[in-house]
Amino acid sequence: MPREVDHRAVRPYADHLGDGLVQMSFTLPVPYSLAARKAALELAAKMGFQEPEVIHYEQLTEGYTYFVMYGRCVQSVDFDALQGEGFDIEYMTEDEIERFAEEHLGRNVVVVGASTGSDTHSVGIDAMLNLKGYHGHHGLEGYRFFKTYNLGSQVPNSVLLAKAIEVGADAILVSQTVTQQNLHVQNLTELVEMVEAEGRRGDMILACGGPRVSNELAKELGYDAGFSKGTEPHHLATFIVRELAARVAATG
């Protein structure tokens, strides 16, 4: 008899249900030695893993040792409680988005985007905005009902906001691709503060994206939405037109 998954208490699955096995790797700044191995085991135990095992360890350079480990996670989460929150969005296709925009908005949606701060990578914002798009889906520039401005990379938040105000943007998109030491959080927060200081927060949708951005993080920082890895341009477009339509409906 196959066992039923208990969604009220789920834990990692590796070989069979409930085993809780987690793979992890890290480096400790200690010399490669038996003591180093013990340190890794003890650390994993302190993290709460049962039966931690070091399956590989090696010296990176003098005084630094790298570990690959397994451990059994005994914690669990209540998946049923999370499912009610309804963050699984049904995305529209490009055609559906165009029809939706025509029907509910009847005008161009103006979007300004940039990769901000010290981030030199424009790959994320280009994938969302440029005609070529991503994974065979056009970027927003290719939609009839979108007017887009892609400011590129290393754009100061102040420049991005000034442009958004100048062109009467409906939405600002911020991309943070490769960042260090959580600089992206600081950068994203600064923009929200600036938009609020200008008294424009209510006029614009603020969205951000990047491999280390999540919807939860974005909302916590004061954005309307955050888009992570795997986002395609029509996902973003769906969100923008729906959100704008909702705002139009709300203000009558």
Partner 1 sequence: MSKLDLDPGVVAACRQAATRIAEQVAEQIAGRTTLSVERSVTRLLGVDGANALEVPLPNVLVDHVHERGGLGRGIAYWLGNAMIQTTSSPQQLAEAVSAGELDLLALQEAEEPAIHERVTSECAARLREIAQRFDERRAMRERLGDGAAPLRYVLTATGDVYEDVVHARAVAEGGGDIVAVIRSTAQSLLDYVPYGPTTEGYGGTFATQANFRIMREAMDEWSEQHGRYVRLSSFCSGLCMSEIAAMGAWEGFDNMVNDALYGILYRDINIVRGLIDQRISRMINGYFGVVINTGEDNYLRTADAIEAAPSVTASQFINHQLALDSGVPDSQIGLGDAFEIDVPVKNGLLYEWAQAQLTRELFPDCPVKYMPPTRHMDGNLFRTHAADTLFNLVTIATGQGIQTIGVPTEGIFTPHIHDRVLGLQNVGYVFNAAHDLGEEIEFKRGGIIQTRAQQVLAGAHELLERIAQTGLFGAIEDATFGDVSRKQDEGRGIEGIVSTEPGYFNPFVELMREASYA
Applying CB under 8 A, the residues found at the interface with partner 1 are: 25-27, 59-62, 64, 66, 118-120, 122-123, 126, 130, 132, 152-154, 177-181, 183, 211-212, 229-230
Tell me whether residue 27 or residue 33 sits nearer to partner 1 (CB atom): 27
Task: Name residue 109's beta-bridge partners.
Answer: 146
Distance CA 18, CA 9 (A): 9
Residue of 132, 147, 163, 229 marked active site: 132
Q: Least distance to partner 1 from the beta carbon of 103, Å? A: 33
| The 205-209 sheet, strands edge to edge | 146-150, 109-115, 171-175, 205-209, 225-227
Q: Least distance to partner 1 from the beta carbon of 168, Å? A: 25
Tell me whether residue 22 or residue 105 sits nearer to partner 1 (CB atom): 22
Q: Least distance to partner 1 from the beta carbon of 212, Å? A: 7
Q: Spell out the residues 6+ positions from residue 182 whose beta carbon is closer than 8 angstroms to its own.
A: none
Q: Spell out the residues 6+ positions from residue 98 whose beta carbon is closer than 8 angstroms to its own.
A: 143, 144, 145
- Kind and range of the H or E element at 63? none
Q: Least distance to partner 1 from the beta carbon of 89, Å? A: 20
- Residue 84, SS3 per DSSP: coil
List the one residue out of 106, 108, 100 whose CA is nearest residue 140: 108
**132 in active site:** yes
The token duo for 156 is 């100061």
Tell me whether residue 48 or residue 63 sits nearer to partner 1 (CB atom): 63
CB 168 within 8 A of CB 110: yes
Residues that are catalytic: 132
